[in-house]
Amino acid sequence: MKIDNNQLLRFITSGNVDDGKSTLIGRLLYDSKSIYEDQLQNVKRISKRKGNDEIDLTLFTDGLRDEWEQGITIDVAYQYFTTPKRKFIIADTPGHVQYTRNMFTGASTANLAIILVDVRYGVTEQTKRHSFIASLLKIPNAIVCINKMDLVNFSKDVYDTIVNEFKIFSSKLSINDIRFIPMSALLGDNVVDKSSRMEWYKGDPLLHTLEIIPINNDINEASVRFPIQTILRPQNEVDQDYRRYVGRLASGVLRKGDEITVLPSGLTSKVKTIYKYDKDMQEVFAPMSISIALEDNIDISRGDMIVKSNNKPNIVQDIEVMLCWLHTDAAKPRAKYFIKQTTNEQKAIIKEIIYKIDIKTLEKDYECEGLKMNDICKVKLKITKPLMVDLYKENRITGSLILIDETTNETVAAAMVV
């Protein structure tokens, strides 16, 4: 199989707090020789000071832990490394239940989810929660790493039992490709190198799997969606007609001369010029940051969206979404929240909770009356002014949004349009 050396794979690591995520990341970086020499020497020195004969792999991510102890707010810790076959960005999401919101942040741009399972405890509620979030966010690939196999004498029977349990649960999810790897991150079995202690496992170790697993470009290339971030206006008296509309192309391919519609006004024009930084472009594609000028002088503001005239999103004020409540405080009945979708900000209320998902069984609870932290529900939102949205399964940018408490300015929920 031919691999694009420049192809970037973004993946998250998820699992319970003690399932071994830090050890796995440390082992992955250490055995693939992705650690800078000065960092390696520092970790060796600290490990020795702590009385460890072996290098403490978890120290490679201890910067994050130190920050927690200092009370610094962190969403997700990112690690970058590369091999001759592929480039990688790891989003290390904390395992505590109260940090489920962090997984949303890391998973929103991920191509793949690594779901760690401690072989001693099998498929837990947190395993199910993370797997469901990966499915909800349309992450197409998952690798279930069944860790700490050394603690069950590398037993194939124990491994098979957990694989079967996860397969039964995941049959209700919409993850296209799920793979299983037995491993001991602490000892290095099946992380970078294939284990000689589990010869019954015929698959590849984790790193090789990450290097060869096919990943698709999940950017919608068919539908032009250009949310306006800001407008460049004339800086002098010479060129009073100067208007350029700036933002990041969320999806699609835009060319000079394309007939466009500005939403929500519905006014139409054609693309006159396109610039990427100061370079004049004939065509641009997502996710480029660009500025454009139109042939007609149209009143356009931040939050408006430029689209192809023959392919428009839905313009809605009542909308149904799958929502994960992220805040420690429960949702306030009939309270107004700021809603942020692309560059558009409006106010909204939660009009109705249609049902809540039981994470343990994936069954729907139609009697749910409130929203509290980590609840995942289908709800109806009522918005004060129109939003231009697509279904999340068709466009991960224009199909997603967040709710913000208008008094504290804290993000309280993340949602996907369904």
In degrees to the nearest 10, what's the CA dihedral of 79, 52, 54, 182?
-70
Q: What distance in Å separates the CA atoms of residue 386 and residue 347, rounded to the nearest whole number? A: 10
Domain extents in the chain: 8-212, 225-308, 314-417
pLDDT tens digit string along 12-52? Answer: 988 887 778 888 988 998 888 888 788 788 888 887 887 77
pLDDT tens digit string along 280-333? Answer: 999 999 989 999 999 998 889 999 999 999 999 999 999 999 999 988 899 987
DSSP string, 337-350: EEEEETTEEEEEEE
Q: What average pLDDT does this structure show over 182-204?
A: 95
Q: Of 60-69, 81-90, 308-317, 407-416, which one has max mean pLDDT?
A: 308-317
So what's the pLDDT on residue 388?
A: 96
Q: What average pLDDT does this structure show over 336-364?
A: 92
Q: Which residue, among 250, 244, 252, has the nearest Cα to 272 in the 3D structure? A: 244
Q: What distance in Å separates the CA atoms of residue 371 and residue 359, rounded to the nearest whole number? A: 14
- What is the second-level CATH architecture of the domain 225-308? Beta Barrel (2.40)
- Residue 281, judged by CB atoms within 10 A of its CB (0-12, 13-18, 19+), counts as middle
Is the CA virtual torsion 214, 220, 226, 227 positive or negative?
negative
8-212 shares its CATH topology with 314-417: no
So what's the pLDDT on residue 22?
A: 82
For residue 68, pLDDT beyond 60: no
Kindly give, in sequence order, each residue whose CB lies less than 8 Å from that of residue 241, ignoring residues fewer than 6 positions away: 234, 297
End-to-end CA distance of the chain: give it in Å, rounded.
36
Q: Which of 1-5, 186-190, 305-309, 311-315 has the lowest mean pLDDT?
A: 1-5
So what's the pLDDT on residue 255?
A: 96
pLDDT tens digit string along 91-135? Answer: 877 656 666 666 776 677 788 999 999 999 999 988 998 898 889
* CATH for the stretch 314-417: 2.40.30.10
Average pLDDT, the chain: 87
Higher pLDDT, 274 or 361: 274
For residue 381, pLDDT beyond 70: yes
Fold classification of 8-212 (topology level):
Rossmann fold (3.40.50)
So what's the pLDDT on residue 1?
A: 43
For residue 334, pLDDT beyond 90: no
For residue 210, pLDDT beyond 80: yes
C-beta of residue 181 within 8 angstroms of C-beta of residue 209: yes
C-beta of residue 191 within 8 angstroms of C-beta of residue 185: yes
For residue 74, pLDDT beyond 50: no
Q: What average pLDDT does this structure show over 379-394?
A: 94
pLDDT band of 378, cuts 50, 70, 90:
very high
